[in-house]
Structure 1
Amino acid sequence: MPRAVPPVTGLQGALTLLRLPLSARPGITAEARARTADWLDDITERVVVADVLLLVSELVTNAVRHTGEPGSLLLLRDEKLLRIEVTDSSPRPPRPRPPRRPEDVGGLGLFLLGRLARRWGWYRHGPGKAVWCEVALPPPRPLPAC
């Protein structure tokens, strides 16, 4: 399991960002997914977008379910890398659940994070924490020649 690390990333050059305040209200995970999908509308690799949307869903849902007080969703990207970061009010580090029976619901969020993200971790953020992950982005498609 990743340890607490400072908020350092491999992002370089021109960055774009999206910040979405979160709350524990119904529908916040769907809103975070929709805003993320709109923000990534220039990414042509749909599998990458689907992975990112799943990671956003898991991180936001975990912040709501396990802390009750999510803070914000931050998305940062350059041409090669996307960083997803969700803050919450709990200082407790994320802990994977032990293996469970296949018919049990839930408990796969951190497993998915480990499988889909290039790397992930967490760090203390104010009285709580931030959980982050990074996803490699496909190279931009060249413009067609005229």
Structure 2
Amino acid sequence: MTSDQPSVWAHRALPVATGDRGTWSWGITRPAELTSARRELRRGLSEHPLPTGAGEDDVDRLLLAFEELTSNGLRHGGSPIEVQVDGCGRGWLIDVSDARPGQPPVPAVGRDPALGGLGLHLVARLATAHGWAVTGARKHVWAALCPAA
């Protein structure tokens, strides 16, 4: 990727989640709630079987992607932010929705990494699939993470 050619956070339908290994949901309005939700997700993951081949590194990647997408929703999305993580199939699906359906996610381009704004790029590298979609009056920014088989 060059600085004049941003990576695309594709407009794609939100995958259907089965929740066969747990589903966690939060309404988040403040950063402190994100911290609490991250702790709750880590606890919840320890109470459900991990996908085949998944280890603690995969859980850490999920938690990082969860935090990046949710913090982006808090900064750039319209309140209320709703977050759902589903343990399904071979991995997890993170869905962060907000009340700004007309504002697509835009990855930072040409910015000094010290200034931040690289969360979408990071999540795209961690995810096996990612995208965004509009359902009703909500924008959904999502990422699917599956451990390497």
Q: Do the two structures share a fold, i.e. TM-score over 0.5?
A: yes
Whether 1:59 and 2:72 are equivalent positions in the alignment is no
Q: Corresponding residue for 2:11?
A: 4
Structure 1: 5+ residue stretches without partners: 140-146
Cα shift readout 1:6-31 (whole Å, capped 9, x = no counterpart): 2234x66x723423232322412112
Residue correspondence of structure 1 range 122-137 to structure 2 within 5 A: 122-137=132-147
Rg larger in structure: 1
| 8 Å CA contact 2:127, 2:143 repeated in 1 | yes
Deviations 1:35-70 (A, max 9, x none): 211121144611101100100101110111112514
Pairs within 5 Å for 1:9-20: 9=16, 15-20=20-25
Q: How many residues align?
A: 136
Aligned counterpart in structure 1 of residue 55 of structure 2, from 37, 45, 51: 45
Rounded Cα–Cα distance in structure 2 between residues aligned with 1:101 and 1:7: 31
Residue deviations 1:119-146 (CA, integer Å, cap 9, x gap)? 100110321201111111467xxxxxxx
Question: How far, CA to CA, are the matches of 1:76 and 1:20 in structure 2?
Answer: 9
| Structure with more contact order per residue of length (Cα contacts < 8 Å, sep ≥ 6) | 2
Distance in 2 between residues matched to 1:87 and 1:26, nearest whole Å: 16
Distance 2:80 2:68 in 1: 13
Q: TM-score, normalised by structure 1?
A: 0.81
- What is the RMSD of the two structures over their aligned residues, measured on CA atoms? 2.2
Structure 2 gaps of 5+ residues are 1-7
Q: Work out the CA distance in 1 between the residues paired with 2:97 and 2:22.
A: 15
* Structure 1 counterpart SS, 2:120: helix
Task: Using the aligned pairs only, state the percent identity.
Answer: 29
Work out whether residues 24 and 41 of structure 2, in 8 Å CA contact, stay in contact via their aligned partners in 1: no
The residue number in structure 2 matching 1:144 is none
